[in-house]
Structure 1
Amino acid sequence: MDGRVFELNAIPQMTDTDIETLLAALTRETRRIERLDLSFGAVWIKRYGTERPPVWTKAQTALACLFGQPFLRPSPYLDSRGMVAREIRRITAFAGRGVPVPQVLYSSGSALVLSDVAPTVTARLDVLRNTDPTAHDALLVACAADLGALHGEGLCHGRPHPRDFFVAGERIGFMDFEEEPDAAMPLAVAQARDVWLLFLQLTDRALLGEATAGKAYAAWRARAPAAAEAELARMLQFLGKFLSPTRLIGRVHMGSDLRRFLAATGYLSEVLLPPRPADASKAGKDD
């Protein structure tokens, strides 16, 4: 990204009133993310540099070094100008591979104006949850399939979550590209991390249980690189060590984060890792 600023007049159907409204919003610098309704539809303003550098990033780096696990590394920290450039660069890369993404309408050194891409997958899931459980879980499977297609194109998202996906006709679109894990770890590791992060949400949201998780994993695997699956297995060998302690903690207090960790890590471990000796013994007794 060369740092150039997109012209406001380049936005389709932009009126003088729209320009005044947008400029006023940009100078207000209130909320970090703001929806703005203009004459031709909604746009979104994303502001950068409004929050302090996360303390957790230093802890993540220390843990990654301590355990020798690249997937724990945080994305490189950038100032607001660097964050704007990163997001535009990644949107451009995804669009260049034919992936549905928001359109960048305007940029400055501290803000982006993006086109509206509603409905988000989260919003669609909320509607389907109580009306059509089958379609609800089919949408989760579609998310996994299109994430696999993304990985097959040599890309990774970094923070795959239904709120950062949107429905683009028959496809899933992607937004929110503030993370860049492949700048901190090998691409295959970043893609494996993507899958695990998606399954933290998917296994928790699936209304039809492991049947949906199985379809979703198969859909991702059919389109993703084999190297990503191999790295996922290595990740799970490490994460699996924390399943038993997490279950013990959960007996005292089972928060949503613990529940998602157990569901996703446990399911993926069963799929990818050979059974432990105790599990194999138990399985033999059940035969």
Structure 2
Amino acid sequence: MDGRLNDLSAIPDATPKDIETLLAVLARGARRIERVEMSFGTVWIKRYGTERPIVWSRAQNALAHLFRKPFLRASPRLGRTAMVDREVRRIAAFAAEGLPVPTVLYRSDSALVLSDAGPTVSARLRTLKTADPAGHEDLLVACAAELGALHARKLCHGRPHPRDLFLEGGRIGYMDFEEEPEAAMPLPAAQARDLWLLFLQLVPSALEGETTAGRALSAWQESAPGDALSELCLLVAFLAKFLWLTRLIGRVHMGSDLRRFLAATRYLSQVLLAPRPADASKAGKDD
């Protein structure tokens, strides 16, 4: 690790006043994510170890063990310093592949100071939705295409939500590297889950529905490894078994998460899985 990351005075263009401000904000520890204005621009402070224990991650691992499905596993839970180490390491890995990422300006055992990456893809999509609907759809497709290119580099993000993506020079950039699914499952399974998680957001928000979803899936497939596609088919086949239960629950309360699960999983199952013949149970009876 670059030893300069432990030195606030090594931050490029930082003035003594900037350093004083950062020291005060870091010591205050008010919020997990905090925006700070410096003389040279905006930086973000990200603190670790403030999260409440996540029951869902334990449930994920229990389900993964019960069903013997690695893609259900949660990323390993780590202590504060190890979480900082993980994020710094993953940012460096993406940067080494020439991918746009925030710059790590400073690190301690429990916090990072990161450069501002600019507006997120999520914010850009909100603007395009009314100002340029065609551009909105093209950006969704671009997210899938860039994710496929990422997977071709033997990487995965872990949570490719549009709010964790940004635009830099016409390219999709990545931030928020808290997840590391490839540490809990084979890389192809982690990459398949990446695509499914992106489609949880993409399919419901696409203005042109399945037309855009189809373009996005094709764009991902152009670069994505074949074993990631195979794992995606296995993932979707498993999750599709629960569509009936999801619809049943939805009759009582159709929340946004449930709606996204239904839309994405139903679409992917339709295009990736071979349809079951209606008379499959009768096969061979007339021989």
TM category (shorter chain) comes to: over 0.9
- Unpaired runs of at least 5, structure 2: 281-287
Q: Distance in 2 between matches of 1:100 and 1:241?
A: 38
Mapped pair 1:276 → 2:250: no
Q: CA deviation at 1:18?
A: 0.5
8 A contact 2:4–2:10 mirrored in 1: no
Mapped pair 1:192 → 2:192: yes
Q: Distance in 1 between matches of 2:97 and 2:126?
A: 29
The code of the aligned residue for 1:243 comes to L
**Which residue pairs with 1:27 in the alignment?**
27
Q: CA deviation at 1:4?
A: 7.4
Q: CA deviation at 1:52?
A: 2.5
Q: Distance in 2 between matches of 1:99 and 1:110?
A: 25
Cα pair distance change 1:2/1:85, threshold 3 Å: farther
Q: Distance in 1 between matches of 2:87 and 2:53?
A: 17
Q: CA deviation at 1:249?
A: 2.0
Q: Distance in 2 between matches of 1:229 and 1:10?
A: 44
Cα pair distance change 1:231/1:279, threshold 3 Å: farther
Q: Deviations over 1:108-156 (max 9, x none)?
A: 0000000000110011011111111110111111110101110000000
TM-score of the superposed pair, with normalisation by structure 1: 0.95
- Unpaired runs of at least 5, structure 1: 281-287
The code of the aligned residue for 2:152 comes to G
Q: Distance in 2 between matches of 1:279 and 1:139?
A: 42
Q: Distance in 2 between matches of 1:122 and 1:190?
A: 23
Q: Secondary structure at the match of 1:146?
A: helix
Q: Give aligned-pair identity as a percent.
A: 68
Mapped pair 1:139 → 2:135: no
* Count of matched residue pairs: 280
**Which residue pairs with 2:108 in the alignment?**
108
8 A contact 1:193–1:232 mirrored in 2: yes
Q: Distance in 2 between matches of 1:154 and 1:18?
A: 38
Cα pair distance change 1:279/1:171, threshold 3 Å: farther
Q: Deviations over 1:228-278 (max 9, x none)?
A: 000000111111101122122222321111111111001111111001223
Q: Distance in 2 between matches of 1:146 and 1:156?
A: 11
Instruction: Output aligned runs, 1:134-173, within 5 Å.
Output: 134-173=134-173
Q: Secondary structure at the match of 1:42?
A: strand
Instruction: Output aligned runs, 1:4-153, within 5 Å.
Output: 5-153=5-153
Q: Distance in 2 between matches of 1:95 and 1:5?
A: 16
**Which residue pairs with 1:180 in the alignment?**
180
Q: CA deviation at 1:102?
A: 0.3
The code of the aligned residue for 1:179 comes to E
Q: Distance in 2 between matches of 1:37 and 1:5?
A: 19
Q: Secondary structure at the match of 2:131?
A: coil
8 A contact 1:133–1:208 mirrored in 2: no
Mapped pair 1:216 → 2:208: no
Q: Distance in 1 between matches of 2:262 and 2:276?
A: 17
Q: Distance in 2 between matches of 1:130 and 1:22?
A: 38
Q: CA deviation at 1:176?
A: 0.2
Mapped pair 1:250 → 2:250: yes
Q: Secondary structure at the match of 2:6?
A: coil
Q: Deviations over 1:65-122 (max 9, x none)?
A: 0011101101111000000000000000000011100000000000000000011001
- The root-mean-square deviation of aligned C-alpha atoms, in Å, is 1.5
